[in-house]
């Protein structure tokens, strides 16, 4: 199933071979509720409970590709959710720090990522992801997997020089745009809007 997802997102334009390999190696069916497992191979978001979703595989792959990971980066993920995006990142980065505000989701993701998947380069915490993870900052990359009305200032502050951040931004409940931020050595931030998306709101 995961290999089929990798072929599917490649057909939609994902080109980074490392990202495609990470998608192929990450069994999405592990990260969805039992009732949804027959749909785990579909390229669409799925409900995971508590008003949250696991993102469409193409969006996971696209956001990951935009981070331009080389394997040396420390990555902050805001919104662990099911843990699927976290698992993909962990196969591509040196270390992943992930924050989830919904405690039952955080507990389930912890069991999957550290127990079932055996990923040793992941650290998880329950809390307000919009505040980041100050004591572990700065981060080379930041990915936000829930929609914010504007880019959270604390996350920009925690992005390292030459870092990249991707975040869905927009005031509308059902429509946002993926925004990519680059931070220069002098701290100046450049923002580029990439494509329209629809994410649950950042809580």
Q: Is 12 exposed, middle or buried (0-12, 13-18, 19+ CB in 10 A)?
A: exposed
Residue 30 within any structural domain of the chain: no
Mean pLDDT of 128-133: 96
In a domain, 23, yes or no: no
What lies within 8 Å, CB to CB, of 14 at 6+ separation is: 20, 23, 58, 61, 62, 65
Closest CA to 174 of 145, 202, 203, 147: 147
Structure tokens at 73: 């980066």
C-alpha distances (whole Å) from 59 to each of 111, 124, 136, 160, 188 are 24, 22, 27, 24, 27
Q: Is residue 19 part of a domain?
A: no
Residue 3 lies in a domain: no
| Whether residue 54 has pLDDT greater than 70 | yes
For 11, 58, 133, 199, the CA distances from 108, given in Å and listed in that order, are 32, 23, 20, 21
Would 105 be classed as within a structural domain? yes
Asked if the structure places residue 68 within a domain, the reply is yes
Domain extent, residue 82, equals 59-197
Give me the half-sphere count of Cα atoms (radius 13 Å) on the Cβ side of residue 16. Answer: 17
Is position 29 within any domain? no
Chain centroid to CA 44: how far? 15
| Dist. CA 12–CA 26, nearest whole Å | 19
Segment 65-82 shows an average pLDDT of 97
Q: What is the pLDDT of residue 195?
A: 92
Catalytic residue set: 55
CB 66 within 8 A of CB 164: yes
**Over the stretch 163-199, which tens digit does the pLDDT of each residue have?**
999 999 987 667 899 999 999 999 999 999 999 998 8
- Residue 140 burial class via C-beta count within 10 angstroms: exposed 0-12, middle 13-18, buried 19 and up: buried
Residue 68: pLDDT band with limits 50, 70, 90: very high
Instruction: Give CA–CA dist 184/190, Å, rounded.
Output: 8
Q: What percent of the chain has pLDDT over 90?
A: 88
CATH value at residue 176: 3.40.50.150
Number of domains in the chain: 1
Looking at residue 172, its pLDDT comes to 61
Is 49 domain-assigned? no
């Amino acid at each position: 199933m995961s290999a089929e997802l990798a072929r599917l997102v490649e057909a939609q334009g994902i080109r980074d071979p490392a990202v495609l390999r990470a998608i192929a190696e990450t069994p999405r069916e592990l990260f969805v509720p039992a009732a949804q497992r027959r749909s785990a191979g579909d390229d669409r978001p799925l409900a995971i409970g508590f008003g949250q979703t696991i993102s469409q595989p193409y969006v996971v792959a696209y956001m990951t590709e935009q981070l331009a990971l080389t394997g040396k980066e420390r990555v902050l993920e805001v919104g662990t959710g099911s843990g699927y995006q976290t698992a993909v990142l962990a196969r591509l980065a040196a270390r992943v720090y992930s924050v989830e505000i919904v405690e039952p989701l955080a507990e389930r993701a912890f069991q999957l990522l550290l127990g079932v998947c055996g990923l040793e380069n992941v650290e998880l915490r329950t809390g307000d992801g919009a505040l980041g993870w100050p004591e572990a900052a700065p981060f080379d990359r930041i990915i936000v997997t829930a929609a914010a009305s504007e880019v959270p200032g604390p996350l920009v502050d925690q992005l390292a020089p030459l870092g990249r951040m991707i975040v869905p931004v927009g005031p509308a409940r059902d429509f946002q745009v993926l925004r990519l931020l680059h931070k220069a050595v002098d701290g100046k931030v450049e923002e580029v809007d990439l494509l329209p998306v629809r994410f649950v709101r950042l809580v």
